[in-house]
Amino acid sequence: MSDDQQVGVQSTLPPFILHSPAVDFIENRMRQYHPAFDARGITFDPAEDRFRPRHLSESDAPNPQSMASLSHEMTRLPTPAVQLTRPSTGVVSDMGFWQTIFPGAMELLRSESSSPIIKNPYWDIRHMATWPEVEDKLEQARRKYDHHSDPSQVGRLRRNVRNMLDNHTVTMQQATRLVPEVDISKPIVGAIKVVLDAYRQVSETREEIATRFDDLPESFEKIDFYSKTYMNDENILQASRWLLHSILAAMEHAIEFYTSHQAKRAGMAILSGPEYQKALRHSLNDVKNRCNSLESQASMSLAHRITSGRENSLMHTVIGSIHQGVQMNNVGMRYFANLFNEVLPLLNGLASKLPKPTCPHLELLLKVFAGERQSRSPMLRTPSPLPKPFEEQPLWLPQSIRVRLRIPDIDEEDLRHVAESTELILHEDKGKAQQVLGTSQFRNWMASNHSAKLLIHGNSTSSMNVSALSVFCTLLTHTFRAYGNGFIGLVFFCGRHLAWNQHQGSLVMVQSLITQVLREFSFHHVSPEPGIYLEGVESEDVNVLCDIFTFLIRQLPAKMMVFCLVDGICLYETEEYLHGMDVVILSLVKLVEECESGGRPSFKLLVTSPQPTIEVRQVFDEDQDSLLHMQGLPLSGDGMSSAGLREQLAQVFL
């Protein structure tokens, strides 16, 4: 084979390029250490000597099945419109609400118990199916009233006389006062006054009809705008129907006024006086009231949308944080979503009771200003000599504490593991975990804005290290951490830290709680209390570490609320773990009682035990409101049904 042929054969082979070990590590092995290091979306470009983004192939793309249903529901959320400016008002008859609103409004008009006020079938509007028909009938009635349908000299004369009276009625009424009140003139002047006053009543009614009906396009614009903005909102639709019904009723009265006989109008005006056309005036006022009602409903719908938007955002955050790095099917996701729907109203109610955050900078400024004023006051006595300052310990840095603890963020790994085990747990649950949410003990524990404790005491015979209560604690922890607003969520899963785990026992429990406090709240520094030293952090004495945890909670702002969840405590009620576990539980219960006094953050302790306990139960037995027995909760089949979960989840995202 010739050299040219050899070159030709070689050119058909794909190029084989060896990358450096660093590039190979980044592309192929780094994602094994953390999902955030997944580099399948990038590729190394030797020509540019750097990584470049690439399109994922089907084989490299993450498996979407675990979030298929949830993502489908998320895509159904309304997206913000691209056009920021509101379009101008179009032609009234072309607005989009007529097909949905007009039939219902006309049906309301026809269903009224009172008989139609228009006796002549020609002028009746209750059988009409479209707005242009009604509008055309009103215009015909108005033209009849103005004598435009009479081309003769009589019609022109009547219009001229009406215009003259409209312009000079007040002048003529004033002129009657100048006529001497002699016996012969009194009846004549009185009759003239009555006629002029009656005409004034008719003229004012005619002017009010014209003025109010000129404002109808604005009412139609509101109906069109609100019905489009809040589609499928029955409150908006019903308010729109009633507004349009009041407009049709007013038009019916106006047509009756326009088409009535002139002599009849004059007689009614003379006999009724100020009560003339009271029904017509009432119908015109009803249009205004119904318009205000529509705006009120729109305001409430807007407030509901804002609130729902925040809850949806929180829902996405919580479910997203649970799903991060977790393979979970749709049933598990819906189970979490359903629990979230039950917890959120309790959490919102609790947040509304919390004191509003103050401005520390303003308070400091006021204190400085007050001190400056006192220093300038000539009436102050000579200050007492200051006591000899004692030697203070240096401030602790949060990072220094975490380094000395020498423990990773085991809670985050535990949360992921429990989430992945959700499907296995649901079959054993029989719906009991969800029943906990409806009990008075749990609701009181959640709703109270003071410190509280609760033991959920189960009677399960399962040998699993995590239970439905573990899933329950996982959802609560993610929700507390995502909700913000002064909430801190701490959690420890006893079933994840047994003999097979290097991080086990009561010492690890309190170390993990300390680490979580430092991570969840941004301490600039920690002011040590007398008798507590930084070296004690490295101690393996559970009592010392419990004291450190307690004093860290004390240094949190009083407006904070700390939720501490200890799951599966029954697994630590063994000879191996009991000594030390009792110290931690008693310390946490004591902290609950201590934080009940003013000036302390609220500390809420929730301990779960899927299996019966003896020692731990004795701590909670004294207060029946602090002990929830799951044995008395009803079973609900094989847990939450998929259909029910799907329906409740859809209500959250729509």
Q: How many CA atoms lie within 13 A of 420 on its CB side?
A: 10
Are 93 and 132 in contact by the 8 Å Cβ rule? The answer is yes
Q: Where are the alpha helices (DSSP H) in 273-386?
A: 278-323, 330-353, 360-376
pLDDT at 203: 58
d(CA 485, CA 470): 24
pLDDT at 626: 92
Tokens of 418: 């429990």
pTM of this structure: 0.53
Q: Where are the alpha helices (DSSP H) in 354-431?
A: 360-376, 398-405, 410-420, 422-429
DSSP 260: S
pLDDT at 297: 87
Length of the chain in residues, anyone?
654
DSSP 630: G
- Exposure string (b/e) for 110-123, b if CB count within 10 Å is 16 or more? eeeeeebebeeeeb
- Residues of the chain under the 70 pLDDT cut: 1-23, 25-26, 30-31, 33-42, 44-45, 47-89, 113-115, 146-206, 208-210, 212, 261-278, 304-344, 346-393, 426-431, 484, 634-654
Q: How many CA atoms lie within 13 A of 254 on its CB side?
A: 26
Are 247 and 219 in contact by the 8 Å Cβ rule? The answer is yes
Per-residue pLDDT tens digits for 523-580: 887 877 777 778 878 888 999 999 999 989 998 988 889 999 999 999 999 999 999 9
End-to-end, the C-alpha distance of the chain in Å comes to 71
DSSP E strand boundaries for 378-497:
452-457, 487-493
Which is nearest to 473 in space by CA: 427, 430, 419? 419
Are 131 and 92 in contact by the 8 Å Cβ rule? The answer is yes
d(CA 22, CA 30): 10
Which is nearest to 223 in space by CA: 137, 110, 131? 131
Per-residue pLDDT tens digits for 147-159: 555 555 444 444 4
d(CA 263, CA 543): 102
pLDDT at 47: 64
Q: Where is 2: in which H helix or E strand?
A: none
Per-residue pLDDT tens digits for 266-281: 445 444 545 555 677 7
pLDDT at 176: 42
pLDDT at 489: 94
Which is nearest to 92 in space by CA: 217, 222, 184, 181? 217
DSSP 631: G
